[in-house]
Structure 1
Amino acid sequence: MAILDAAERLFAEEGIERVSHRRISAAAGQGNNAAVGYHFGTTADLVEAVVERRREAVEQVRTDLVERIAGSGDVRDWVDCLVRPSIVVLESLGSPTWFGRLSAQLAADPRRHARYVEHALRSEPLRRTVDGFRSCLPDLPEAVLRERSDMARILSVHVVADREADLAEGREPARATWTECGDGLVDALVGLWTAPVRS
Structure 2
Amino acid sequence: MARTSGPETRDRLIRAAEELFAAQGVHGAQLRDIVARAGQANPSAVQYHFGSRAGLVDAVMAGRQVRTEDVLAPLLAAAPDDTHALVGALVTAEASELGTDRGRRCLRISAQLSHESGVRTCTPHPTLAGTGYWRLIGRIADRLAADGLPEPLLLERLDLALTVVGAAMADRARQYLDGSEPLTGEALFLADLVETTTALLRAAQPEQAHLLPRKDLS
Question: Normalised by the shorter chain, which TM-score bucket?
Answer: 0.7 to 0.9
Q: Which residue of 2 aligns with 1:157?
A: 166
Q: 1:150 to 1:67 in 2, by over 3 A?
A: closer
Contact kept in structure 2, 1:59 and 1:123, CA below 8 Å = no
Backbone CA RMSD of aligned residues: 2.5
* Distance in 2 between residues matched to 1:75 and 1:107, nearest whole Å: 20
Query: Where in structure 2 are there 5+ consecutive unaligned residues?
Result: 1-10, 208-218
1:131 maps to amino acid: G
1:107 aligns with 114
Higher helix share goes to which structure?
A: 1
1:162/1:129 Cα in 2 relative to 1: closer, same or farther (>3 Å)?
same
* 94 and 11 in structure 1: CA distance in 2 versus 1, 3 angstrom threshold: closer
* Counterparts of residues 49-198 of structure 1 (less than 5 Å): 49-69=59-79, 72-88=80-96, 90-94=97-101, 97-107=104-114, 112-114=116-118, 117-137=124-144, 138-177=147-186, 179-198=187-206
Q: 1:163–1:40: structure 2 CA closer, same or farther, 3 Å change rule?
A: same
CA offsets 1:41-67 (integer angstroms, 9 cap, x no match) = 210110000000111111121111112
Distance in 1, matches of 2:191 and 2:30, equals 37
Q: Classify the secondary structure of the residue corresponding to 2:181.
A: coil
CA distance in 1, matches of 2:103, 2:159: 28
**How far off is 1:124 after superposition?**
4.1
Per-residue CA shift, 1:151-176, capped at 9, x if unaligned?
Answer: 21221111011111122222212332
Q: Which residue identity lines up with residue 125 of structure 2 in the other structure?
A: E
Moved more, 120-129 or 149-158: 120-129
Give the 3 Å change call, closer, same or farther, for CA 87–40 of structure 1 in structure 2: same
Instruction: State the TM-score, normalizing by the size of structure 1.
Output: 0.83
1:94 positional shift? 4.3
Structure with greater Cα Rg: 2
The structure with higher relative contact order (CA 8 Å, sep 6+) is 1
Aligned residues: 192
